[in-house]
Amino acid sequence: MRRWMIKSLFVTVGVACAFTAPNALAQNPDDWKPSNLEVMQLPRFCWAQFKVPGAEGEEFRIRDCGPLANHYCFGLTYLLRAKKFTGKGKPIGQLQGAYHDIRGTEIVIKDYPQCSIREHVTASRAEVEHLLRMYGAKPPEMR
């Protein structure tokens, strides 16, 4: 009985690892959240989303962009981290995360002509694509 339990534990862990991004296992589960310093470097329209004290007005929100536009601020966080990358290798993982959230936002807001961040999103996508090319990578496939 005990041998069966150990085998099933190894199988469960193996399956979990197979479906988890390799670098996610080495990171803190809260690493996707921006730090207070990072939030202050983001555009003001991200501040209400990250609950900056006193950021309650309309200028602190993404307006008229539909559902899921809040992912844009996470994409900007990845872009910020990629630009400050100091680790070994290249910041391709951060840039691909940024591309995914920024391009996803661009797709979501296409039917919202009054979206308050439309030009910002387009410029950020171009910047991420440029950085990916600079590091010899391509934008990831969007599903």
The pLDDT of residue 8 is 38
pTM: 0.75
The pLDDT of residue 28 is 46
Contact status, residue 55 vs residue 47, Cβ threshold 8 Å: yes
The pLDDT of residue 119 is 96
Instruction: Tell me which residues of the chain have a pLDDT lower than 50.
Output: 1-29
Length of the chain: 143
b/e 20-45 (16+ beta carbons within 10 angstroms → b): eeeeeeeeeeeeeebeeebbeebeeb
- Give which of 139, 62, 46, 43 is closest to 100, Cα–Cα: 139
Tokens 């197979």, located at residue: 18
The pLDDT of residue 13 is 33
Can you tell me the distance from the alpha carbon of 69 to that of 78, in angstroms, rounded to the nearest whole number?
Answer: 15
The pLDDT of residue 143 is 64
Tokens 């003001």, located at residue: 44
The pLDDT of residue 142 is 72
Distances, alpha carbon 33 to alpha carbons 5, 78, 89, 117, 126, in Å? 36, 10, 23, 21, 23
Residues 16-26 have pLDDT tens digits of 333 333 343 33
The pLDDT of residue 41 is 96
Angle at 141 between CA 73 and CA 22, to 5 degrees: 75
